């Protein structure tokens, strides 16, 4: 097997970056060239990290850049959520792909607290679900919020995801206290088609009433 002279050996292939727009947000794959200032602030904010059971700590910029570089837009996506009006980043999706099973694990954080409670997650995630189900070969998605992450659970249920499992005492709490339960929510491609169809029918009824 020959290797082109200019191709680095053992370098993972890069997939097609994500770039989508919703009514209020730009969603795009991040790169090591992106500004890290807001991300560093989120990582140092206990209110942002606690629902994720992630300890607050200082991440060196070079370590964050390496993490961004690990996203190949094939097996891992790091997708920034940017406010179209002010152009600043307000959140991040990390999506891990199991290509053999055509399955994706969704994780999300909205770091800018001024946007909490304003429907960011489901507006952005709707566009990503359309993209991954329709254009990137995914047939099943999952999300695993901690049972104490009430806003995340509300969002999953409001968007129509199925509560598939409760993993009792699944993780140690990084802030001390008892072990944490973790939920698994899931959605298949057919589930999502049905949800979209019902939503369109509801809008049509409202329009015609």
Encoding tokens for residue 146? 């901690």
Q: Report d(CA 200, CA 208) in Å as an integer.
A: 12
Strands 103-110 and 162-171: unpaired
What's the confidence (pLDDT) of residue 4?
36
Fold of the domain spanning 19-208? Aminopeptidase (3.40.630)
Q: Report d(CA 192, CA 142) in Å as an integer.
A: 12
What's the confidence (pLDDT) of residue 9?
32
What's the confidence (pLDDT) of residue 205?
73
| pLDDT of 13 strictly over 70 | no
pTM (2 decimals)?
Answer: 0.89
The 10s digit of each residue's pLDDT in 111-158 is 999 999 999 999 999 999 999 999 999 999 999 999 999 999 999 999
The 10s digit of each residue's pLDDT in 71-115 is 999 999 999 999 999 889 999 999 999 999 999 999 999 999 999
Q: What is the mean pLDDT of the chain?
A: 91
What's the confidence (pLDDT) of residue 156?
98
Q: Report d(CA 30, CA 139) in Å as an integer.
A: 24
Q: Contact at 8 Å (CB) between 164 and 186?
A: yes
Residue 202: band (very low, low, confident or very high) from pLDDT cuts 50, 70, 90: confident
Beta bridge partner(s), residue 206: none
* Torsion on CA atoms 151, 145, 73, 139, rounded to nearest 10: -100
């Amino acid at each position: 097997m020959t290797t082109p002279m200019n191709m680095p050996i053992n370098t993972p292939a890069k997939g097609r970056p994500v770039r989508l727009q919703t009514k209020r947000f730009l969603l795009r794959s991040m790169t090591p060239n992106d500004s890290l200032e807001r991300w560093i602030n989120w990582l140092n904010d206990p209110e942002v990290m606690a629902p994720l059971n992630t300890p607050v700590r200082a991440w060196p910029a070079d370590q964050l850049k390496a993490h961004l570089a690990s996203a190949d837009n094939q097996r891992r996506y790091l997708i920034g959520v940017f406010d179209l009006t002010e152009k600043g980043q307000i959140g991040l999706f990390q999506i891990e792909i199991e290509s053999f099973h055509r399955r994706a694990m969704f994780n999300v954080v909205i770091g800018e607290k001024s946007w909490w409670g304003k429907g960011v997650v489901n507006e952005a995630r709707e566009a990503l679900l359309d993209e991954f189900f329709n254009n990137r070969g995914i047939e099943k998605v999952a999300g695993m919020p901690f049972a104490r992450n009430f806003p995340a659970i509300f969002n999953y249920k409001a968007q129509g995801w199925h509560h598939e499992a409760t993993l009792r005492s699944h993780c140690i709490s990084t802030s001390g206290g008892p072990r944490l339960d973790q939920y698994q929510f899931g959605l298949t491609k057919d589930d999502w088609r049905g949800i979209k169809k019902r939503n369109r029918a509801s809008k049509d009824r409202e329009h015609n009433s």
